[in-house]
Structure 1
Amino acid sequence: MKKLNFLILFLLAGTVSFAQTWSLDKAHSNLGFSVSHLMVSEVDGSFKNFDAKITSSKEDFTDAVIDFTAEVASISTDNEQRDGHLKGADFFDAQKFEKITFKSKSIKKLDAKKYKVIGDLTMHGVTKQVELDVTFGGTAVHPYNKKTIAGFKVGGIIKRSDFGVGASTSSAVVGDEVTLNAKTEFAKD
């Protein structure tokens, strides 16, 4: 009987995969955005303080759960006056709404490197479902720390009006559509 129980456990262990956690390598990642200004140009910005984790048991990340957080007060457009305005009550209201969060709900693999990720984005106290395009750069072993790393590019378009950000500012001044773009590297824990 003991041999049979051991055999069953051994066979089950071969079919069960265990989730792996991947942590963001902040030194090799960035989170940016761009938005139109006066309908003729684009202004770029970024969030300097952000973090993310991926939990996945599959090598191709098709079962991944992605958790992301950015500190609103870390917004930067390389213009101190504009950054102060964006942090204020007219836009993000960083004192009241300190974080932007994203939690994935589903991932669809389109081809070897392309994915659609659907999840809940919370910003300015409003949660909306968004769809993001993800390009998987692959995995490698870091030559110095010997950890397995993975790279991803993430992009998408959201409407600031959906989240009440800059509600009193005309889209002719600051565009309603905001293009998100992130380049990230994760290390397997």
Structure 2
Amino acid sequence: MKKLLVIVFAFFSLSAFNTLNRLWTNDDAHSQLSFTVSHLGIADVTDTFNDFDATVTSSKPDFSDAIFELTAKTASIDTRVEDRDNHLKSADFFDVAKYPILNFKSTSVKKQGKNNYKLNGNLTLNGITKPVSMDLVYRGTVENPMSKKQTAGFQVTGTIKRSDFNLGSGFPAPMISDEVRIKADGEFVQ
């Protein structure tokens, strides 16, 4: 009887832990990671990373305690121009042979209003780790009618400086803006 009680207690303890710490993973078909720079000060150019994984771990339904993690393969950069892709993959910019992965891990999520948060974390890019702060919008949770899975939507926006990560140091700001605007939209399934 004592052994049975221990097994039942262990089962409920593990179930409670899984319920409290929900893991959400990005749905590739409905997620995008992009960045925008200004070229020659007269036009914006928006590019994407096509191969990335992101997770959200949270115990609260409003995600106010969430931990966001993202890993992207730098070689998956897609500018829709092959020559530009190849140049960005070179040592002039992302140096994908030396730094094949970029990472982000949140350190805090601070509520700024209804469904709006300040997302703080560490970004590792080009072998350099720096703290960054982004705006996060929680867009809600619904049951996907096709998969029948709970699906949460988020949008992250913010700006980093490419000079902070030694990206394209041979290309001055009048040619390519130092400010890089980040935008990530994602659906996450439980």
Q: Which TM-score applies when normalising by structure 2?
A: 0.90
Tell me what 2:161 maps to: 159
The alignment status of 1:50 with 2:30, answered yes or no, reads no
Partners of 1:163 and 1:119 in 2: CA distance: 15
Cα RMSD, aligned residues only: 1.9
**SS state of the match for residue 86, structure 2?**
helix
Partners of 2:36 and 2:174 lie apart in 1 by 15
Question: 1:110, CA displacement in angstroms?
Answer: 1.1
1:1-189 pair list within 5 angstroms = 18-188=20-190
**Residue-by-residue CA offset, 1:12-45 (whole Å, 9 max, x unaligned):** x8x9862000011000011111101011111110
Secondary structure, counterpart of 2:64 in structure 1: coil
Question: Could you give the per-residue CA deviations for residues 133-164 of structure 1, whole angstroms, max 9, x where no partner exists?
Answer: 01111000011221100001110000000000
Q: Matched residue of 2:177: which SS?
A: strand
Structure 2 spans left out of the alignment, 5+ residues: 3-8
Amino acid of the structure 2 residue aligned with 1:163: F
Q: Which amino acid aligns with 2:57?
A: T
Structure 1 residue ranges (4+ consecutive) displaced by more than 4 angstroms after TM superposition: none
C-alpha separation in 1, matches of 2:146 and 2:85: 37
TM-score w.r.t. length of structure 1: 0.90
Structure 1: segments with no counterpart, 5+ residues: 3-8
How far off its partner does 1:109 sit?
1.0
How far apart in 2 are the matches of 1:153 and 1:54? 13
Identity of aligned residues (%): 46
Aligned residues: 180
